[in-house]
Chain A
Amino acid sequence: MHKEAAIREPLILGDDVTYTKISNDVLATIEGKTTKSWKVLMTIATIVGLWGVGNILYLIGVGVGTWGLNKTVGWAWDITNFVWWVGIGHAGTLISAVLLLFRQKWRMAINRPAEAMTIFAVFMAGLFPMIHMGRIWMAYWVLPLPNTFGPMWVNFNSPLLWDVFAISTYLSVSLVFWYIGLIPDFATIRDRAKAPVPKLMYSLLSFGWSGNAKAWQRFEEVSLVLAGLATPLVFSVHSIVSMDFATSVIPGWHTTIFPPYFVAGAVFSGFAMVQTLMLIVRKVMHLEQYVTVKHIEYMNIVIIVTGSIVGVAYLTELFISWYSGVEYESYAFINRFSGPYAWAYWCMMTCNVISPHLFWFKKLRTNLAFTFFMSIIVNIGMWFERFVIIVTSVHRDYLPSSWSMFYPTWVDIGIFIGTLGLFSVFYLLFLRYFPVLAFNEVKSILKSSGEKYKNMSDEDFKKLHPVKK
């Protein structure tokens, strides 16, 4: 019997936790009736999502001209939203893959909802480059397919094409990773189900999982290797997204720090979104015993670290723009903090650089209401970061005669709000029909990290679990 060091706080609270109780608590929403609050939220999310779909159809029907883009500002909310959503996705993979490699047991209570967030966020992200093409029915042109235009292939030197490969690999690998973890949990639901329809649904979803020793051995090996593959993948994806900007010669974009800076920013915003979602989920679904204040605190610590990296990156960028002596580069940054978009720049600075440091106070980072508030602030700040990078860099280019401003139209706003709605629809369906926590994994840490067992002496443990009669 090996326990964790006593100095580590327990990850499962309560003296009454048993394997059965963990299943009962997590599966209560699936096995119970649909609640009124879920129906209300689902209705709102569906209406907002449909509004977004309507806007997208309008955009496709009429053209990209319905956005506020102009000759100078060719990328604005579309790409801002794309980068924002991809960034949010990164926390899920970080939690499930990087924390698995580091053997962090606290990941087990949050990896499933975080990965679901990743997948739905990447859906939303992928939408934007597709609709930005204008003629979405030609989206397959990004693939290297044999064609009739003279053998004209895609340009493999272009980061925009790398993005196609990066995002699609990221989405499909995350989906596989998530689903392989879900199979044993679906099997539990299948074996507990009484009504015929859920029984059939979950037996299809669980692929006939039996949980024999060899299957579990393979399961653990596959999880480990997938984590090993997903870790460099998650870093590469946002690095490639940043190269969409960094390899172009626009002042403000053409910098070598972009890849690590974007990755840190992505993790920062992703953890904020996990906080936003988990604080609600743990409360509404009564999972406080499994997603404890300690989990929230750990995530806040990640937010301090990545927020500090982002802060250093902002200041480095600013310093280098002056130190380089390139006047266009310097102007791009002078314009950022004192030009017409200075309000967005300072909003970003306040939200991303100053506010995370409040988490150095233990009182604040263990305060749930404050954490929730901060998670929203960070999400807003990270949206503004992408807006600042994209729009302020292009709206004043080399020719002052073509300087302009960007004003979003109702289609810009509608599509962004719509993706929030669609994301919520997917997330609510996940909460209702999928096991929210990887509860079978949580069971496996009950003895090493559960409060009941941590406070128990070895003698008491042997008394509780006698081996021989």
Chain B
Amino acid sequence: MADKKIYAIYDDDYVLLESAKHLVSKGIFIRDVFSPFPIHGLDPVIGLKRTRIAITAFIYGMIGVSLALTGMWFFSIQDWPMNIGGKPNFSLWDNLPAFIPVTFEFGVLCAAHGMAITYLLRNWTLPGFKAHNPYLRTTDDRFVMEIHPHDNSVSAEDIKALINETCVLEIDEK
């Protein structure tokens, strides 16, 4: 097959980062990088946009806050107002100080869980799913760049020649 993926295998995160800079400066598009831990400074080099997952957390949190307030308003003010210890439940506004703790906790609960579920779905990681790292050692001590020849204007041979200028451990195609 003409269009095999090229994998450049490195044994160090710093070397991979500097090599990625080198390749990108030569106009190579790096499709993905697999590493055992996050490589700081890599995202802008290979052109990854910042994730928007933090915004989803805010939205989930606000949903939680609204749900908690609506619920407490319904239970304690609307449906069955109770007078406990001479402290009746009159209106949401009057009771708000007592409702803050539950509102806060429920907001955090929804934000954290909503974001975690979104995170797992966006990464497509759930129990029973198959991993797709190209080499087993990329989760331990290998750092691998994945380059697709069809993403680039130059030929696979030229890409490999460019990778070979860096201190790569091994170049593999599959």
Contacts and interface: CB of A to CB of B under 8 A. Distances in A.
A86 B104 CA distance: 19
A226 interface: yes
A165 B105 contact: yes
Interface stretch (B1-9, B29-37, B147-155): B29-37
B32 A229 contact: no
A211 B112 contact: no
A318 interface: no
A441 B141 CA distance: 13
A467 B19 contact: yes
B141 A187 contact: no
A219 B130 CA distance: 18
Contacts, number: 225
A162 B128 contact: no
A211 B166 contact: no
A455 interface: no
Given A208-B124, A236-B104, A222 B33 contact: no
Contact of A156 (B61, B72, B131, B167): B72
A465 to B, nearest CB: 5
Contacts of A162: 101-102, 105
A114 to B, nearest CB: 18
A130 B37 CA distance: 41
B22 A191 contact: no
Interface stretch (A17-25, A31-39, A40-48): A17-25
Given A1-B14, A213-B43, A233-B108, A188 B76 contact: no
B18 A172 contact: no
A465 B109 CA distance: 45
A214 B122 CA distance: 10
B171 interface: no
Contact of A19 (B51, B72, B141): B141
Given A166-B101, A187-B139, A209-B125, A155 B51 contact: no
B161 to A, nearest CB: 12
Nearest to B116: A176
A144 B71 contact: yes
B113 A176 contact: yes
Contact of B15 (A236, A243, A467): A467
Interface string B117-129: 0011011111111
A217 B48 contact: yes
Contact of A225 (B15, B53, B124, B136): B53
A406 to B, nearest CB: 26
B131 A187 contact: yes
A151 B131 contact: no
A240 B108 CA distance: 15
B79 A216 contact: no
A224 B128 CA distance: 27
A23 B106 contact: no
A140 to B, nearest CB: 16
A468 B98 contact: no
Nearest to A165: B105
Contact of B51 (A1, A209, A217): A217
A16 to B, nearest CB: 14
Nearest to B164: A469
Interface string B62-105: 00000000011001100110101001010000010011011011
B140 A191 contact: yes
A210 interface: yes
Of residues B15, B18, B105, B128, which shows the largest number of chain A Cβ atoms within 10 Å of its Cβ? B105
A435 to B, nearest CB: 12
B81 to A, nearest CB: 10
Interface in B32-59: 32-40, 42-43, 46, 48, 50-51, 53-54, 57
A444 B37 contact: yes
Contacts of A225: 53-54, 57, 111, 115
Of residues B33, B35, B87, B123, which shows the largest number of chain A Cβ atoms within 10 Å of its Cβ? B123
B33 A213 contact: yes
Interface of B: 12-15, 18-19, 22, 32-40, 42-43, 46, 48, 50-51, 53-54, 57, 61, 71-72, 75-76, 79-80, 82, 84, 87, 89, 95, 98-99, 101-102, 104-106, 108-109, 111-113, 115-116, 119-120, 122-133, 136-141, 164-167
Give the 4 A-B residue pairs with the shortest CB-CB distance, closest first: A208-B129, A153-B75, A207-B125, A216-B38
Given A213-B35, A229-B108, 18 more contacts: A156-B102, A180-B116, A184-B36, A187-B133, A187-B139, A190-B139, A191-B131, A191-B133, A203-B130, A206-B131, A210-B132, A218-B53, A222-B53, A229-B61, A229-B112, A232-B108, A240-B105, A467-B15
Interface of A: 1, 18-20, 23, 144, 150-159, 161-162, 165-166, 168-169, 172-173, 176-177, 180, 183-184, 187-188, 190-192, 203-222, 224-226, 229-230, 232-233, 236, 240, 243, 440-441, 443-444, 447, 465-469
8 contacts: A180-B116, A208-B128, A209-B125, A216-B38, A226-B112, A444-B38, A444-B40, A469-B166
